[in-house]
Amino acid sequence: MADTLFTKIINREIPADIIHEDELSLAFKDINPQAPHHFLVIPKKSIATVNDIQEEDKALVGHLFMVAAKLATELGFAEEGYRTVMNCNQNGGQTVYHLHLHVLGGKPLGWPPYQEKLKTI
Binding site for ligand 5GP (CB under 6 A): 5, 16, 28-32, 87, 93-96
Q: Is the Cβ of residue 90 or residue 120 nearer to ligand 5GP in the bound state?
A: 90
Quote the least distance from Cβ 38 to ligand 5GP, whole Å.
7
Q: Which amino acid is at 44?
A: K
Helices (H), 20-99: 58-75, 89-92
Q: CB of residue 113 vs ligand 5GP: minimum separation in angstroms? A: 12
Q: Tally DSSP H helices, then E strands, for the chain.
A: 3, 5
Which residues participate in catalysis according to the annotation? 100
Q: How far is the CB of 102 from ligand 5GP (least distance, A)?
A: 6
Pick 91 or 95: Cβ nearer ligand 5GP:
95
H or E stretch covering 26: strand 25-29
Taking the least distance from each CB to ligand 5GP, the nearer of 91 and 120 is 91
Angle, CA of 19, 23 and 24, to the nearest 5°? 85
Please give the torsion angle defined by the CA atoms of residues 56, 92, 44 and 40, in that order, rounded to the nearest 10 degrees. -130
